[in-house]
Amino acid sequence: MRFLHRCTILASALPLLLAVGATAAECPNGRGWIPPGSQLSYPAPHVLQYRVPAGYAVAFPDGSFAAQTTHTCSCSTSGGCNPVVAPNGNTSCRTATCTDNGCTGVRNGVVIRTTGAAVSFANARTAQTQPQAVPGLLEIPSVRTAVTAFLHTQNGVVAPPPATLIQNKLHAPEGYVFALLDVYGYLVTALVHRDVAAVLEAVDAGTITCACAKDQGTGCEKRHDETGVYWCEAGECRECTVSFSNTLLDPTGETETLFGF
């Protein structure tokens, strides 16, 4: 199963504000996600404002919440840089004219789901339909607390051993699997005891590979935290691909979605 953060042309998804044709490239920062039913507006050039529907909230690192926020794009060199909403809800900044990689984005807050369990194991259906975790998700205090508590319940308070990198693939340590978690509506990959994952029918992602496409910048590095959460950090890579070896979710191995951690 492949999750992509990629520089792809989504002409049908471009708002009227961005009429740049087929040469628009995604900027490697300021990525996010908004749910279906959000109310969108463009109160100023290069600014996307959105209000989330019932069942969602915008969370901030200071612990506050709101129903509305903005996503702003800017070009520090010359040219234009504008916010884009893809059909699957992923937001980013795209440019056809901003020179020397000067396009930057600022997304205020992280949209989270406020209904249902805060953290649970993802199933085969949600693993195919939910967005990958966006940058800043684990910086939200309530999210970090919930993830830590959930993994302590599954694994105990002792941190799992680190994964092993073999031929650019991360392998779970003996006795553990890379399980897919549903965290406030996003998919997060974490190490979980193999027997716990089997009993609770968690989705085992298999091995993890991070790769930045040729000539698409630098970054897409493997990262993890002390609780056993693993991700591919895009950094300045415009096409950061995280691949799971488990193809049971998609036998063709060609499932793709924008990835933005």
Can you count the helices (H) and strands (E) in the chain?
3, 21
Q: pLDDT (tens digit, 9 = 90+) per residue, 178-224?
A: 999 999 999 999 999 999 998 888 899 999 999 888 877 788 889 99
For residue 257, being part of any structural domain is answered with no
**pLDDT value at residue 2:** 42
- Domain shared by 64 and 120, yes or no: no
- Domain shared by 128 and 222, yes or no: yes
Burial class (CB in 10 A: 0-12, 13-18, 19+), 89: middle
The single-letter DSSP state of residue 13 is: G
- Domain shared by 94 and 130, yes or no: no
Q: Is the pLDDT score of 5 beyond 70? A: no
For residue 2, being part of any structural domain is answered with no
- Domain shared by 105 and 125, yes or no: no
Query: How many distinct structural domains can be found in the chain?
Result: 2
- Domain shared by 237 and 199, yes or no: yes
Higher-confidence residue of 29 and 92: namely: 92
For residue 260, being part of any structural domain is answered with no
Q: Which of 112, 141, 160 is the last residue of a domain?
A: 112
Q: Which of 97, 112, 127 is the last residue of a domain?
A: 112
Q: pLDDT (tens digit, 9 = 90+) per residue, 44-69?
A: 988 999 999 999 999 999 999 999 99
Which residue type sits at 147? V
- Domain shared by 167 and 222, yes or no: yes
For residue 94, being part of any structural domain is answered with yes
For residue 249, being part of any structural domain is answered with no
Q: Is the pLDDT score of 74 beyond 70? A: yes
Confidence grade of residue 116 (pLDDT, cut at 50, 70, 90): very high
- Domain shared by 236 and 119, yes or no: yes
**pLDDT value at residue 18:** 32
Distances (CA, A) of 38 to 24, 111, 222: 24, 11, 32
For residue 169, being part of any structural domain is answered with yes
User: Are 52 and 59 in contact, with CB atoms under 8 Å apart?
Assistant: no
Alpha-carbon dihedral of residues 152, 156, 157, 159, nearest 10 degrees? -90
Beta strand spans in 12-131 (E): 25-26, 32-33, 39-44, 47-51, 56-59, 65-66, 68-75, 82-85, 90-95, 103-107, 110-113, 119-121
Alpha helices in the chain (DSSP H): 124-129, 141-155, 194-199
- Domain shared by 126 and 207, yes or no: yes
Q: 3-state DSSP: the chain helix, strand, coil percent, rounded to 5?
A: 15, 40, 45
For residue 261, being part of any structural domain is answered with no
How many C-beta atoms surround the C-beta of residue 95 within 10 A? Answer: 23
Strand partners, 190: 179, 229
User: Are 244 and 207 in contact, with CB atoms under 8 Å apart?
Assistant: yes
| Mean pLDDT over each residue of the chain, to the nearest integer | 81
Q: Measure CA of the first residue to CA of the last residue in the chain; give whole Å.
A: 17
For residue 255, being part of any structural domain is answered with no
> Residue 150 belongs to what domain range?
115-244
- Domain shared by 147 and 224, yes or no: yes
> Sign of torsion, CA 211 212 213 215?
negative
- Domain shared by 175 and 217, yes or no: yes
- Domain shared by 96 and 138, yes or no: no
- Domain shared by 48 and 93, yes or no: yes
**pLDDT value at residue 11:** 27
